[in-house]
Chain A
Amino acid sequence: MPNVDMLLYILMGFMIVGSLVAVETADLLSSVICIGAVGFALGIVHLLLRAPELALTLGVVEVLTLIVLIRVVRTRKDSYHATSRDTLSIAVVVGGLGVMLTLAYFALDGLPRFGEPRMLMATPYLQHAFSETHLSNAVTAVLLNFRAYDTLAVTAVLFAAVTGAFTILRHYGRRR
């Protein structure tokens, strides 16, 4: 297990560095590739944490988004890169963040500690997954049976995404 922890730390450091490069670089294409690298590292993290379902879906989604983004990115330079930064607005943002964190500290103090009681929801799911749904894959049982509401909401989110894509892209007009 310590090896896995070490690998996780390395991967997380890699992801942080990749995200920073993706944000800071002026070249849009390398930014997109950095995002793809971060996504694949996240997939490996899922594999190490023994979540092959997530890793499978995430890997395919990463391939899809990477190809689409590379296809969409046409300009080489990010002309929208901010050159000057407003000190006041950054100060306001940082101050607001500090106030929020302080309030969150007091607000979250009353909640039960992280991970306690252990497996509060997972235990009944795991115990009843096979006897109630007859599915040997507990993840499918949770996704489509115990939490089918969640899945229904996810499809609604996807519908919103498709509608948004059509609405935003329509602005440029349709040829032929």
Chain B
Amino acid sequence: MKAPGMSLMVKTVSRLATAFVLVFGFYVLVSSHKMPGGGFAFGVIAALAMMLVLLAFGRNVAVTFIPRTAVAVAAVVAVIGLLAVGFLGYLPAMDGSGGAFLRNFGDYLPSGSPDGMLAGGTVWIMDFCIGVLLGAYIFAMLTALSMFHSRRRQDPTEPREE
């Protein structure tokens, strides 16, 4: 990790590829109502794109490109969104039945076309929240790994091969 990132070829390719990877992740996210995919897949794919930046350009560039506060804010907003969906479920339903935690209050939301993304009520909100949450969490874990493993233990019995 001494040199800032990898060679020029890797940097160029990853600069081009990152956008495509993110776009594919977003496609997987918004098409989850009719195709395989969803929030989990989007989160992991987005984290992969961020890891591409991290590995190719080095930790410092990645941390300035994706600031730590932005990741934290994204995670917090996603958690608040999930909990808001949960607690808004307590609203009584339009047909008069009572509410419950995490009830799908889709009757209050615009539903769009019957086969579209918005048709599932709260499902797309939860999907987006989970995707953002997962991406932020995994990126946080990756930065933790790259940040804290630089200094080896000062243990003489530790094999020091590189």
B138 to chain A, nearest CB (A): 7
Q: A68-B142, A162-B137 are in contact. Are A76 and B127 (CB under 8 A)?
A: no
Chain A residues, Cβ within 8 Å of B147: 174-175
Chain B residues, Cβ within 8 Å of A55: 36
Majority SS of interface residues in chain A? helix
A53 pairs with B145, CB closer than 8 A:
no
A134 pairs with B119, CB closer than 8 A:
yes
Q: How many A-B residue pairs have CB under 8 A?
A: 142
Chain B residues, Cβ within 8 Å of A57: 40-41, 44
Interface residues of A in 137-176 (CB under 8 A from B): 137, 139-141, 143-145, 148-149, 151-152, 155, 158-159, 161-162, 165-166, 169-170, 172-175
A61 pairs with B44, CB closer than 8 A:
yes
Chain A residues, Cβ within 8 Å of B104: 133, 145, 148
Chain A residues, Cβ within 8 Å of B106: 133
* Cα of A112 to Cα of B134 in the assembled complex, Å: 37
Q: Say whether A118 faces chain B, with CB atoms less than 8 Å apart.
A: no
B144 to chain A, nearest CB (A): 5
* Cα of A162 to Cα of B151 in the assembled complex, Å: 21
Contact of B82 among A60, A79, A155, A172 (CB under 8 A): A155
A63 pairs with B36, CB closer than 8 A:
no
Chain A residues, Cβ within 8 Å of B141: 161-162, 165
Chain A residues, Cβ within 8 Å of B115: 134, 136
Contact of A155 among B130, B145, B146, B153 (CB under 8 A): B130
Q: Mark B105-125, 1 if CB is under 8 A from A, else 0.
A: 010000100110001111100
Chain A residues, Cβ within 8 Å of B37: 53, 56
Measured as residues with beta carbon below 8 angstroms from the partner, the interface class of chain B is: 35 or more
Contact of B148 among A64, A77, A143, A173 (CB under 8 A): A173
Q: Say whether B86 faces chain A, with CB atoms less than 8 Å apart.
A: yes
Stretch at the interface among B9-17, B45-53, B90-98: B45-53
Contact of B120 among A60, A141, A155 (CB under 8 A): A141
B102 pairs with A152, CB closer than 8 A:
yes
A53 pairs with B38, CB closer than 8 A:
yes
* Partner-B contacts on A (CB < 8 A): 52-53, 55-57, 60-61, 63-64, 67-68, 71-72, 74-77, 79, 133-137, 139-141, 143-145, 148-149, 151-152, 155, 158-159, 161-162, 165-166, 169-170, 172-175
* Partner-A contacts on B (CB < 8 A): 28, 32-41, 44-45, 47-48, 51, 55, 79, 82, 86, 102, 104, 106, 111, 114-115, 119-123, 126-127, 130, 133-134, 137-138, 140-142, 144-153, 157-159, 161-162
